[in-house]
């Protein structure tokens, strides 16, 4: 008997039971995320109606009904308006963007010389891409090339007047070229200037502190339009008669000064977040002021405020559109200028051109913000508790 | 040892003048002041010389001169015979109108979108996310142009206006709605409103005191709404309905009568509200997420319903995080209203530009800009700081 009285021992794991049918599958997901409560259900239905109303309209307008090619306005006009499209048609006139694409990118830059802009852009990307990818080595050399050498190369290439390259006036520049040049200069100038202003504002020397505070608060208190206005109307009054500045240069000065005031406040936030012990530790090691700031405080402070810095860059990139007001043509300015082209005057032209500009701006800004989130995660070395 | 020490001390006292931080700091500050004074002197000297050459008289006397240009939108009486000073005042009023209406709309829209981004409802959350990501990443000027050139300017001409309910119309000249004309006795309505407001305040005070003393609650919200709307209605009826509506009437070329809201104002107002709302939504979201989860759990454990948890526990704490960045968004909106110049809405900046072109008084105009914008900024931040101090954590 005893031989048969062996207790049964399971040698393998039992299979997991399937979850209750109310908790798994698409049905459960829908119930949980869309119809959890009566209010939820109403919201869902309302949102679905909104989507069902807008989405087909947007898709039809931008893709299915859009006109992609054409020589002039007749391509985008309905029968009643003198074109060939069916009456009541509404769609994007991408043919307009297509025809003006070169203008939108380069402005009135001479067509034979556009290769110079393209070459500059290629160098720019070739230097920027390895700088942004953390795994690529030689960061220091790369940064020096990008921030110190590239401006000179770009200047020689874009402005010309040397080595047989014809001189191109900046008044001929336009489009995305202007947007990118202003943003690049703004970024390269505003970061170091902002750091210096932030240090000045936290300095123990009363006069330096006072001057920095006055500068930062005045610039932050007025709109960029006013700063640009000052740069374009008052700068000529400030210099001796006969001495003139390039209009483009004036806009650059305005944007860079404006951005550096904002940058200073961002950096100051980072400086304030560094515990006092770090400063004292550096002092006790016998480091001087610049060593203390450069080796101990700044690396930590800047890392903390990367989101703020990138937000300032994004803001500045968007603010480049304001040079339109002092009659310079960045991407938005040139799009707007071409909207009044009689050859392309249709009811859809304005919308199409502006949507195109919006997409370009959106791609740049969205890219910057995603990269900053990525960088923030990478550099997050345990300040969070 | 001692000899060495003495030696070192002697060394340091010899070189101390260059290496003493205090001496250095004074030296650099004096240097900076000298540079600054020299720079300012140079600029002033050049400016005086330039102004003398171009025969521009300085001073603010020009403000009393006749403006001679018309302004399309003006809330205060203005004609081309008015002075430059009056024109600037018109511009300031227009700027403030856009800023205040924009701030109110952007705040409401931003709070709605910010809460929607945290909703448990997947679809609503996605819509809110798309809204925020789209508007945060395009320039405000582009949004203004989009409304102005892409939407409002291709509306039908006044002849084929789009009819909207309540006797309002929409066409390429803007939005028309009936004008309210108050007749005699209308002050009773206003008086009723004031009385209702005062009584509500009184009731709310009493209700709170009673709840503190006995724990009994009183429906303050409904009573208050009843009082605030009831008394004006009563006054309205007592005065014999002293209100007529002047409806816009379609003419051959234009609509006459009613109130017209210009397309310039509409584009600017809509664009600034939509653009700023995206930023406010993110601030609201961050504020609500910043309140730790334990707070809502504790409130739920006390038996509060979700609505009350939000109203009594989460929002008061979230506001403390929200207010400071919200202030800077309000300031941004006010400053962005200067983009009006791009579409021809006569705000402070646009009118200042016109005056500058007529008189050439660049310095005075820029000073006026700076003073006005800086004081708007300062007043807004003072108010918001006061509000912030009121709701700030009371640490005992």
Segment A17-58, tens digit of pLDDT: 888 877 777 888 888 878 878 888 888 898 899 899 889 888
How much is the pLDDT for A239? 77
Query: Is the predicted pLDDT of residue B376 greater than 50, yes or no?
Result: yes
- Closest partner residue to A48 (CB to CB) among B49, B123, B335 is B123
How much is the pLDDT for A91? 81
Q: Quick one: CA dihedral A126, A127, A128, A133, positive or negative?
A: positive
How much is the pLDDT for B396? 54
How much is the pLDDT for A385? 41
Q: What is the pLDDT of residues A242-282, one digit of tens each?
A: 777 778 888 888 889 899 999 998 898 888 888 888 889 99
| Alpha carbon distance A180, A186 (integer Å) | 10
Mean pLDDT of B200-207: 88
Task: Kindly state the percentage of chain A with pLDDT values over 70.
Answer: 97
> What is the token pair recorded at B320?
């403390």
Place of tokens 């409401």: B108
Find the residue in A nearest to B335 (Cα).
Answer: A223
- Closest partner residue to A354 (CB to CB) among B51, B136, B150 is B150
> Minimal CA–CA distance to A230: which of B25, B362, B66?
B362
Mutate to test the interface with A, among B120, B126, B142 (most CBs of A within 10 A): B142
Computed over every residue of chain B, the mean pLDDT equals 81
Decide which of B166 and B90 is more confident: B90
Residues of chain A contacting residue B348, judged by C-beta atoms under 8 Å apart:
none
> Minimal CA–CA distance to A224: which of B248, B140, B221, B91?
B140
Nearest CA distance, B64 vs chain A (angstrom) = 23
Q: Quick count: other Cβ atoms within 10 Å of Cβ A283?
A: 13
Query: Is the predicted pLDDT of residue A383 greater than 70, yes or no?
Result: no
Query: Is the predicted pLDDT of residue A98 greater than 90, yes or no?
Result: no
Confidence label for A217 from pLDDT (cuts 50, 70 and 90): confident
Q: If DSSP codes are grouped into helix, strand and coil, which group holds residue B171?
A: strand
Confidence label for B3 from pLDDT (cuts 50, 70 and 90): very low
Out of 1.10.3720.10, 3.90.1200.10, 3.40.50.720, 3.20.20.140, the CATH code matching A94-109+168-379 is 1.10.3720.10
How much is the pLDDT for B132? 93
Q: If DSSP codes are grouped into helix, strand and coil, which group holds residue B201?
A: helix
Find the residue in A nearest to B353 (Cα).
Answer: A229
Task: Kindly state the percentage of chain B with pLDDT values over 70.
Answer: 91
How much is the pLDDT for B363? 80
- Closest partner residue to A47 (CB to CB) among B127, B139, B338 is B127
Query: Is the predicted pLDDT of residue B366 greater than 90, yes or no?
Result: no
Which residue(s) pair with B249 in the sheet?
B256
Computed over every residue of chain A, the mean pLDDT equals 84
The b/e string for B258-294 (b: 16+ C-beta within 10 A; e otherwise) is bebbbbbbbbbbbbbbbbbbbbbbbbbbebbeebeee
How much is the pLDDT for B110? 94
How much is the pLDDT for B5? 47
Alpha helix (H) residue ranges in chain A: 25-33, 38-59, 94-106, 114-132, 139-144, 150-159, 176-201, 206-221, 224-233, 235-238, 247-273, 276-284, 289-291, 298-304, 306-319, 331-339, 349-379
Pairing of strands B243-246, B179-182: antiparallel
Residues of chain A contacting residue B150, judged by C-beta atoms under 8 Å apart:
350-351, 354-355
Query: Is the predicted pLDDT of residue A203 greater than 90, yes or no?
Result: no
- Decide if B50 touches A, using CB distance below 8 A: yes
Confidence label for B2 from pLDDT (cuts 50, 70 and 90): very low
| Alpha carbon distance A372, A351 (integer Å) | 31
Domain boundaries, chain A: 27-65, 94-109+168-379, 110-167
How much is the pLDDT for B29? 85
| Alpha carbon distance B267, B73 (integer Å) | 14
Task: Provide the domain count of chain B.
Answer: 1
Mean pLDDT of B102-120: 91
Confidence label for B280 from pLDDT (cuts 50, 70 and 90): very high
How much is the pLDDT for B345? 86
Q: Quick count: other Cβ atoms within 10 Å of Cβ B379?
A: 10
How much is the pLDDT for A206? 85
- Closest partner residue to A208 (CB to CB) among B32, B138, B373 is B32
| Alpha carbon distance A219, A226 (integer Å) | 9
Mean pLDDT of B285-305: 88
Q: What is the pLDDT of residues B221-267, one digit of tens each?
A: 888 888 888 887 887 777 777 777 777 776 666 667 677 788 888 88
Query: Is the predicted pLDDT of residue B173 greater than 70, yes or no?
Result: yes
- Residue A128 CB-density burial (10 A; 0-12 exposed, 13-18 middle, 19+ buried): middle
Mean pLDDT of B46-60: 75
Looking at the domain assignment, is residue B16 inside a domain?
no
- Decide if A322 touches B, using CB distance below 8 A: yes
Mutate to test the interface with B, among A288, A321, A327 (most CBs of B within 10 A): A321
Mean pLDDT of B306-328: 85
Q: Quick count: other Cβ atoms within 10 Å of Cβ B91?
A: 27
Residues of chain B contacting residue A357, judged by C-beta atoms under 8 Å apart:
142
Looking at the domain assignment, is residue B42 inside a domain?
no
Contact A226 B51 (CB under 8 A): no
| Alpha carbon distance B348, B341 (integer Å) | 9
Say what the alpha-carbon torsion angle B358, B361, B367, B373 is, to the nearest 10 degrees: 10
| Alpha carbon distance B361, B375 (integer Å) | 21
Query: Is the predicted pLDDT of residue B288 greater than 60, yes or no?
Result: yes
Find the residue in B nearest to A222 (Cα).
Answer: B373
Pairing of strands B259-261, B162-164: unpaired
Residues of chain A contacting residue B51, judged by C-beta atoms under 8 Å apart:
237
How much is the pLDDT for B301? 94
Q: What is the CATH number of the domain that holds B111?
A: 1.10.3720.10
Task: Out of A36-40, A68-72, A338-342, B98-102, give the one with best mean pLDDT.
Answer: B98-102
How much is the pLDDT for A33? 79
Confidence label for B1 from pLDDT (cuts 50, 70 and 90): very low
Place of tokens 């006005």: B372
Angle at B76 between CA B72 and CA B79, to 5 degrees: 55
**Is A349 within 8 Å of A96 (Cβ atoms)?**
yes
Find the residue in B nearest to A357 (Cα).
Answer: B142
The b/e string for B121-145 (b: 16+ C-beta within 10 A; e otherwise) is bbbbbebbeebbeebbbbbbbbbbb
Which contiguous run of DSSP H or E holds residue B170? strand B168-171
Alpha helix (H) residue ranges in A10-93: 25-33, 38-59
| Alpha carbon distance A352, B166 (integer Å) | 33
Q: Quick one: CA dihedral B337, B338, B339, B342, positive or negative?
A: positive
How much is the pLDDT for A2? 55
How much is the pLDDT for B298? 92
How much is the pLDDT for A194? 92
Mean pLDDT of B380-385: 79
Find the residue in B nearest to A204 (Cα).
Answer: B25
CA distances for A365 relative to A361, A374, A377, B217, angstroms: 6, 14, 19, 51
Contact A357 B142 (CB under 8 A): yes
Query: Is the predicted pLDDT of residue B382 greater than 50, yes or no?
Result: yes
Nearest CA distance, B336 vs chain A (angstrom) = 7
Query: Is the predicted pLDDT of residue B395 greater than 50, yes or no?
Result: yes
Nearest CA distance, B373 vs chain A (angstrom) = 6
Looking at the domain assignment, is residue B228 inside a domain?
no
Q: What is the pLDDT of residues A126-177, one digit of tens each?
A: 888 888 888 888 888 888 888 888 888 888 888 877 777 788 777 788 888 8
Nearest CA distance, A272 vs chain B (angstrom) = 17
**Is A365 within 8 Å of A314 (Cβ atoms)?**
yes
> Minimal CA–CA distance to A100: which of A360, A353, A355?
A353
Residues of chain A contacting residue B134, judged by C-beta atoms under 8 Å apart:
362
Contact A321 B139 (CB under 8 A): yes
- Decide if B371 touches A, using CB distance below 8 A: no
Nearest CA distance, B362 vs chain A (angstrom) = 7
Q: What is the pLDDT of residues A347-372, one digit of tens each?
A: 888 888 889 999 999 999 999 888 88
Task: Kindly state the percentage of chain B with pLDDT values over 90.
Answer: 14
How much is the pLDDT for B252? 64
- Closest partner residue to A40 (CB to CB) among B46, B121, B127 is B121
**With a CB-CB cutoff of 8 Å, which residues 102-141 of chain B face chain A?**
119-124, 127, 133-134, 136-141
How much is the pLDDT for B10? 45
Decide which of B81 and A313 is more confident: A313
- Decide if A51 touches B, using CB distance below 8 A: yes
| Alpha carbon distance B255, B160 (integer Å) | 11
Residues of chain B contacting residue A62, judged by C-beta atoms under 8 Å apart:
none
Query: If you write DSSP's letter for every residue of B222-273 in order, what string do you get?
Result: HHHHHHHHHHHHHHHHHTT--EEEE--EE-SSSEESSEEE-HHHHHHHHHHH
Query: Is the predicted pLDDT of residue A200 greater than 50, yes or no?
Result: yes
Task: Kindly state the percentage of chain A with pLDDT values over 90.
Answer: 8
**Is B192 within 8 Å of B235 (Cβ atoms)?**
yes
Tell me which residue range forms the domain holding B125.
84-136+271-391
Looking at the domain assignment, is residue B168 inside a domain?
no
Across the A:B interface, residue pairs with CB atoms under 8 Å apart total 152
CA distances for B2 relative to B8, B9, B12, B16, angstroms: 10, 10, 15, 21
**Is A184 within 8 Å of A255 (Cβ atoms)?**
no
Contact A365 B137 (CB under 8 A): yes
- Decide if B28 touches A, using CB distance below 8 A: yes
Decide which of B154 and A280 is more confident: A280
Pairing of strands B249-250, B162-164: unpaired
Find the residue in A nearest to B122 (Cα).
Answer: A33
- Decide if A239 touches B, using CB distance below 8 A: yes
| Alpha carbon distance A106, A104 (integer Å) | 6
Q: What is the ipTM of this complex?
A: 0.82
Query: Is the predicted pLDDT of residue A186 greater than 50, yes or no?
Result: yes
- Decide if B304 touches A, using CB distance below 8 A: no
**Is A67 within 8 Å of A95 (Cβ atoms)?**
yes
Find the residue in A nearest to B133 (Cα).
Answer: A366
Mutate to test the interface with B, among A26, A47, A216, A335 (most CBs of B within 10 A): A47
Which contiguous run of DSSP H or E holds residue B180? strand B179-182
Query: Is the predicted pLDDT of residue A125 greater than 50, yes or no?
Result: yes
**With a CB-CB cutoff of 8 Å, which residues 175-214 of chain A face chain B?**
204-208, 211
């Amino acid at each position: 008997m005893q031989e048969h009285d062996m207790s049964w021992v399971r040698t393998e794991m039992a299979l997991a039971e399937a979850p209750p049918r109310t908790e798994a599958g698409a049905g459960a997901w829908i119930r949980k995320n869309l119809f959890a409560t009566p209010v939820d259900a109403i919201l869902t239905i309302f949102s679905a109606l909104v989507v069902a109303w807008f989405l087909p309209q947007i898709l039809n307008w931008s893709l299915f009904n859009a006109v992609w090619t054409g020589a002039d306005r007749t391509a985008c006009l309905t029968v009643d308006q003198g074109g060939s499209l069916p009456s009541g048609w509404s769609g994007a006139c991408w043919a307009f963007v297509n025809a003006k694409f070169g203008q939108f990118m380069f402005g009135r830059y001479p067509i034979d010389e556009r290769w110079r802009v393209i070459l500059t852009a290629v160098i720019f990307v070739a230097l920027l891409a390895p700088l942004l990818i953390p795994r690529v080595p030689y960061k220091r050399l790369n940064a020096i090339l990008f921030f110190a050498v590239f401006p000179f190369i770009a200047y020689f290439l874009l402005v010309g007047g040397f080595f047989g390259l014809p001189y191109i006036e900046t008044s001929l520049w336009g489009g995305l070229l202007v947007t990118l040049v202003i943003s690049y200069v703004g970024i390269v100038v505003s970061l170091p200037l902002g750091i210096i202003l932030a240090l000045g504002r936290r300095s123990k020397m009363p006069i330096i502190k006072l001057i920095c505070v006055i500068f930062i608060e005045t610039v932050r208190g007025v709109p960029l339009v006013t700063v640009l206005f000052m740069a374009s109307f008052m700068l000529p009054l400030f210099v001796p008669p006969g001495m003139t500045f390039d209009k483009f240069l004036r806009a650059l000065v305005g944007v860079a000064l404006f951005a550096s005031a904002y940058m200073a406040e961002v950096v100051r936030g980072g400086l304030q977040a560094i515990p006092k012990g770090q400063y004292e530790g550096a002092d006790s090691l016998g480091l001087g002021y610049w060593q203390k700031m450069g080796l101990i405080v700044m690396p930590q402070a800047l890392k903390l405020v990367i989101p703020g810095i990138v937000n300032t860059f994004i803001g500045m990139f968007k603010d480049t559109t304001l040079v339109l007001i002092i009659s310079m043509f960045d991407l938005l300015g040139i799009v707007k200028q071409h909207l009044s082209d009689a050859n392309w005057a249709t009811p859809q032209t304005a919308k199409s051109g502006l949507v195109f500009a919006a997409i370009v701006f959106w791609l740049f800004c969205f890219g910057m913000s995603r990269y900053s989130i990525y960088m923030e995660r990478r550099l997050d070395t345990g300040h969070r508790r | 040892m001692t000899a060495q020490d003495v030696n070192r001390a002697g060394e340091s006292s010899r070189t101390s003048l260059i290496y003493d931080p205090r001496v250095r700091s004074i030296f650099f500050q004096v240097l900076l002041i000298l540079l600054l004074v020299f720079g300012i002197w140079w600029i002033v000297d050049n400016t005086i010389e330039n102004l003398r050459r171009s025969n521009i008289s300085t001073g603010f006397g020009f403000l009393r001169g006749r403006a001679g240009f018309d302004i399309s939108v003006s809330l205060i009486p203005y004609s081309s015979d008015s002075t430059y000073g009056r024109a600037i005042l018109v511009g300031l009023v227009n700027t403030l109108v856009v800023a205040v209406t924009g701030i109110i709309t952007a705040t409401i829209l931003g709070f709605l979108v910010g809460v929607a981004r945290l909703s448990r409802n997947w679809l609503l959350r996605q819509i809110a996310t798309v809204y925020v990501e789209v508007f945060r990443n395009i320039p405000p000027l582009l949004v203004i142009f989009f409304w102005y050139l892409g939407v409002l300017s291709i509306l039908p001409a006044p002849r084929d206006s789009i009819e909207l309910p309540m006797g309002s119309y929409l066409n390429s000249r803007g939005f028309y709605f009936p004008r309210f004309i108050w007749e005699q006795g209308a002050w009773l309505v206003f008086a009723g409103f004031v009385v209702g407001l005062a009584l509500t305040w009184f009731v709310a005070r009493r209700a709170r005191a009673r709840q503190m003393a006995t724990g009994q609650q009183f429906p303050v919200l409904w009573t208050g709404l009843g009082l605030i709307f009831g008394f004006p209605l009563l006054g309205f009826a007592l005065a014999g309905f002293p209100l007529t509506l002047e409806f816009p009437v379609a003419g051959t070329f234009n609509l006459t009568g009613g109130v017209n809201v210009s397309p310039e104002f509409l584009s600017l107002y809509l664009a600034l509200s939509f653009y700023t709302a995206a930023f406010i939504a993110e601030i609201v979201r961050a504020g609500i997420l910043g309140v730790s989860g334990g707070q809502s759990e504790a409130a739920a454990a006390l038996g509060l319903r979700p609505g009350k948890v939000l109203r009594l526990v989460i929002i008061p704490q979230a506001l403390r995080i929200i207010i400071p960045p919200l202030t800077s968004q309000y300031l941004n909106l006010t400053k962005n209203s200067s983009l009006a110049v791009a579409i021809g809405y006569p705000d402070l900046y646009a009118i200042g530009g016109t005056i500058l072109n007529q008189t050439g008084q660049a310095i005075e105009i820029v000073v006026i800009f700076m003073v006005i914008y800086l004081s708007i900024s300062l007043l807004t931040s003072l108010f918001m700081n006061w509000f912030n101090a009121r709701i700030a954590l009371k640490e005992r």
